[in-house]
Every structure is written in C-alpha cells, then in structure tokens.
Amino acid sequence: MTQPLFAFDTSYARLPERFYSPAPPAPAPDPAFLALNRPLAEQMGIDPERLASEEGRDALTGRAAPEGAALIAMAYAGAQFGHFVPQLGDGRAVLLGEVVGPDGARRDIQVKGAGRTPYSRMGDGKAPLGPALREYLVSEAMHALGVPTTRALAVLRTGEVVLRDAPLPGAVIVRVATAHIRVGTFQYFASRGDREGLEILLNHAAERAWPETLEADNPAAAFLRAVSLAQAKLVAKWLSLGFIHGVMNTDNMSVTGETIDYGPCAFMDAYAAGRVYSSIDRHGRYAYGNQPKIAHWNLLQLAEALLPLMGETEEEAVAAAQEALDVFPGAFSDAWRGALQAKLGLTETREGDDALAEDFLAALEAGEADFTLAFRGLGALRAEGGPETDGPVRELFRKPGAFDAWAVRWRARLAEEARSDGERRAAMDQVNPAIIPRNHLVEEALRAAQDGDMAPFDALHAALAAPFADRPAGDRYAQPPAKEEEVRATFCGT
C-alpha cells in the first residue's frame, strides 16, 4: 500500500469549528514548480522526488486534495496600524495540515494564494508571482542568517492571471511554520468574550510552542512571558541585520517567536533609524527603529486578550500580566547589546560599550554609510591600523571624519581584550553577513521571473544560502545599489 505524500496529523483541525472555516483551494489551471526546497522537505519527512512530481504539484495547487488534508482557513483578528479589526482570518491561505518530521518537530504546511476563503472579504485570495517568490527568497535568507522564521517549501506558478494594478502571473507559496497562531488569534476569541475558546487556544498554542508553560502555576502568564522573551530576541536579531518587517500588525506577530508574513519587508542599505520602505506605512509606525516599541505594544494586546485566564480577580490578572510583560525591555536590551557587542568584535561587557555602539550607529547615519558593509568591513581592519589602512570602511562614509574619530576609541577598546586580529575577524564574520537580500537585487530577480527567466532568482537564492562566506572582490551581491538602482518603496502584493 502506497504511503500518503504527507503524513498529516493536524491537531488544529481537531479544535472546535469556530477556530477555522473549511476552505478548499481553487484548482490552478496550469501549475508548475518554480522553486522547491528539497532539504526542508527531507527534514519534514516528505519525499522530495514525490513532492516534485505531478502528484505533489497537484496536491499543492488545489487540483487534488492530498490524503488526510485539513483544507481550512484559520480565524483571527488583529490590530492593524493600531486599529483593532475584530475579524480578519486567512483570507488567501489554506492550512493543508501538520506533519511531524523525523526530528520530532511538528510543522504546519500552508498554501498562500490558493483562492478565496470565508475571510477574504472583497479580495480574490490569489497571489501574484512576485510576492510569492519574494517570500520564498527572503524567508530562506533569514533562515540562513540564523533568524527564527517561517520557511518556504515551494513556489508554483498557477497558470492564471492575477489582477492588481496590472495583470500579473499568479502563483502560490507553500509556507511552513511551527504554528500559524498569531497574537490576533487570541484577540479574536477575547473580543468575543469567548473564555472557553481562549483557554482551548492557550493550551493548544502552548503545547505547540512553549509546552513547559503548561506546568507553571499560572500557565497564561508563563505563556505571555515566553512569547515576550522570544519576541525580544527576535526583534534584536532583526535590528542586528538591518531588517525592517514593514507591517508589524498583531495578526502578523506569531506567538512561536518566528518571523511571519513577508509582505513589504526590506533590508536597509544606508543606515537610518527612521528608515521605512513599506508603501502602506505612511507615518513610519513600523520604521526600523520603532520595531522594539511596536513589538512591546503588540505584546500588551496579547496580555489584554489573556487577562481572563490570568487570575481570579482583575487585580491579580493585571499584576500577573504586568510581571510577564516586564521581561521584554530588559530581554530586548540584553539581546541588542549582545548583538552589537559581537558585531563590533567585543567579547566582554565594559563601561562605555553602549555609548561606543550607539556612536557608531550615529556615525553611520550621519555618514549615510551602508549598514551591512560597514560592520562587515570592521572585521578586516587591523587593531593597530588607522586612517591610512581603513580605506575599505572609510570610503563608505560621506564624511569619514566621524568614523576616524570613532575608530580611535574602538581600537582602544579592542586593546583591552587579548585576541588576535585573525581570531576577532573570524568571530565578527560569523555575525556580520557579507550579503543580505538587497532590495534592488530582489526586485531584479522578481522582474526577470515575471518575464519567465528564473536564472537571476536561482543565482541570488544560491548566494544567500551562505551569507557569512567571503565574496569575491567586486561581487555584485555584496554591493549597495547605485543611485538609479535604489528601491525606495516595497509593496505587499495583496
């Protein structure tokens, strides 16, 4: 007897029916694979050859329901740009099911762009090819960079036209996550006064992501604390790489601590704390430097949703929630300080280190210097050097004087630690990537793909799989954009 392609064991579909709605995917008229993540398939216990076959193609594009599939759209609410919307839900995503891999990890498999669901409102539920490939490229790059993230299993063209500002080729992306449960999922039940639903959701989400919290005296508070710690570390990791999520609504914050929903995301070129790329973030709510504050705000919304489960009285619940939330600022500061320390080549924490790091960021901003290249370049500088040897970094600054003055302080600080230049550089090169998914290269690859040429996408994806490896001199993947190549706005594709 042939084993099913996916060994589904979908716990979310066993929850009460108010947690989701049936949502069979719309069949794609002429599907074909554009990208397939074979190593991830193997990690999940899925035969990559079968997945790449007609059987897998049809299972992922609605042409044949895979055996045991759930085919549901998950319900959730969300605060979008600070304004609460009581029902959102998966408007263009269908949960095929959950699989437990050989490593024992349970993972969701979700198809985005599969057509209308009961939560689509006025949308078509489809996805253009560009945003689907963008999510594949950036989420896999984030994984290679060591960032907790949803993963991409595949992108397939659908063979149909999707209408946005112009007719565009359609596609689906197959996304993998520890769970697709969001802060907004808890808000959905809290806003309805559904205490039983909240309790069921808490138990389910904790079992999926933070099972140790179920053993605590106050599981809801322990869960909030676990999510707060995970988000603090996640956002610090984002900042350390110059990543800007773009739409940090509560429906786009996963309680698993994974980066989710790569819409108008971007990586900074020249450093600026107020940098915004998202075309829909008109007031800079989700700017680069605002991300820690917004993450904390989102966690407050989770705390409010969980209050009915946190204490016998309102006073007890508020106190427990506040105590859990209070871990975020310190955890973020510790993670961010540690990240900057490592990026600057320091192994010990000493007085003045925070100012040294902050002053380097200020010099970067004043000098309009490239964030990624400046940090990477520091690793190659000699501890006994000076302006005459610092050319590769100095030339990144519009006015290098501020860097020269800072470098004197940095070298004095390096002298307090007994490490050779070689040891320091090796350590710095493990945290300062040589390449990131630069916006102009991503856009170039997506434009080519829309015209039927996947070669630029494949080449960029292959390079991004090893972001910390040295690149050849003049390598275009490691270069900032020329003025005419700069991407000033990114779009979500919905």
Are 44 and 101 within 8 A, CB to CB? yes
Give the residue carrying structure tokens 């940095």.
Answer: 410
Q: How far apart are CA 138 and CA 158, in angstroms?
A: 21
pLDDT, block means (10 residues), the chain with 494 residues: 91 98 97 98 97 98 96 98 96 97 97 96 94 97 98 98 92 98 98 98 98 98 98 98 98 98 96 96 96 98 98 96 98 98 97 97 97 98 93 95 96 95 97 98 97 97 98 93 92 74
The token pair at 233 is 């570390």
Q: Give the pLDDT of residue 494.
A: 62
Q: Give the pLDDT of residue 492.
A: 79
Phi and psi at residue 341, to the nearest 5°: -60, -50
Which residues, in sequence order, are CB contacts of 487 under 8 Å at separation 6+? 266, 277, 439, 440, 443, 481
The token pair at 377 is 């370049």
Q: How far apart are CA 299 and CA 491, in angstroms?
A: 26
Three-class SS state of 480: coil
DSSP assignment string, 69-98: ---EEE---EEETTEEES----SSEEEEEE
449-461 confidence digits (pLDDT tens): 999 999 999 999 9
Q: Give the pLDDT of residue 35.
A: 98
Q: How far apart are CA 362 and CA 456, in angstroms?
A: 35
What is the value of pTM for the model shown?
0.97
Question: How far lies 262's CA from each of 114, 117, 199, 347, in Å?
Answer: 17, 20, 29, 33
Task: Give me the catalytic one of 90, 108, 251, 261.
Answer: 251
Identify whether 326 is a catalytic site residue: no
Helix (H) or strand (E) holding 33: strand 32-36
